[in-house]
Amino acid sequence: MSNVVITGSTKGIGNGLAREFLRRGHSVVVTGRTSQAVDEAVGKLGPDATGGALALGRATDVTDVEQVQALWDHAVAEFGRVDLWVNNAGVANTTAAIVDTTPEDVRGMVSTNMLGTIFGSQVAVRGMLAQGAGQVFNVLGGGSDGRIRPNMGVYAATKRGLDMFTRALVKETKDTGVRVGQVRPGMLITDGWLREAAVAPEQVSGQRKILNILCDHVDDVAPYLVEKMLASTRSGEEIAWLTNGRMMRKFLSPKQDVLTRYGL
């Protein structure tokens, strides 16, 4: 079975991916900014592990390349090798227009989303080249497809940039044992999404109809994404949940109230 590292996996889609890998018998290193968050996540994920899989954790600031390297070294020391590395850590602040986004929020999104994924890719690819094989997936998000959405200018710019970065990395690793791909998980209701909803409840109420159509729960999407990642055999793989076909089916199917689960 595979040994997996997932950055930003104490909650949200990263946590959902970790759980699904463990359920399939793959060992996972969970990461987050604080030891407390990592320990809590590992404790909750442990019972989902099957087939001798291990749920381990390490606090990591992905904007610090030395900490990212230490994460790789830790995983190799525990597992012997890393087969799959998922750059998932990200920050989204999507309640303000570009000119109203604070400097702190700009720095947070650019450093975590861009630097975190770039550093993670550098460290993982170097390590995988040395061990002879491996696979890296970068998790993208809203805006990576080039579409303009309200109040997502800065966040979308980072994700659009990561689309280009990932495509470049695919070409640079061609004819090696390292495969690179990207994951687009769609519109998921996560802790971060709920935090943003609390800041700007008028955005939720004003878009409730469309949100109920397009949004999904993490536990519904994570199994699909993990199966696709495990089945991937080529570099340049683009795994997307909210495809045009699925979006069309959502609009044509009976409407659901996704938001009620979260008290919205």
Residue tagged 């602040």 (tokens): 93
- Map residue 32 onto helix, strand or coil: strand
Q: Burial code of 248-261, b = ≥16 C-beta within 10 A, e = fewer?
A: eebeeeeeeebbee
Residue tagged active-site, from 155, 158, 193, 216: 155
Overall residue count recorded for the chain in this entry: 264
Considering Cα of 227, then 117, then 181, then 232, what sign does the dihedral take? Answer: negative
> Is residue 237 helix, strand or coil?
coil
- 91 Cβ partners below 8 Å, 6+ apart? 108, 109, 112, 113, 192
SS3 194: helix
Residue 31 host element (H or E): strand 27-32
Judge whether 262 counts as a catalytic residue: no
Distance CA 64, CA 123 (A): 11
**Cβ-based neighbour number of residue 201 at 10 Å:** 11
Nearest of 162, 128, 131 to residue 144 by alpha carbon = 162
Q: Are 261 and 217 in contact (CB under 8 A)?
A: yes
Residues 6+ apart with CB under 8 A from 3: 26, 27, 29, 75, 79, 80, 81, 82, 83, 84
As a dihedral over the C-alpha atoms of residue 204, residue 210, residue 212, residue 216, rounded to 10 degrees, the angle is -100
Catalytic machinery residues? 155
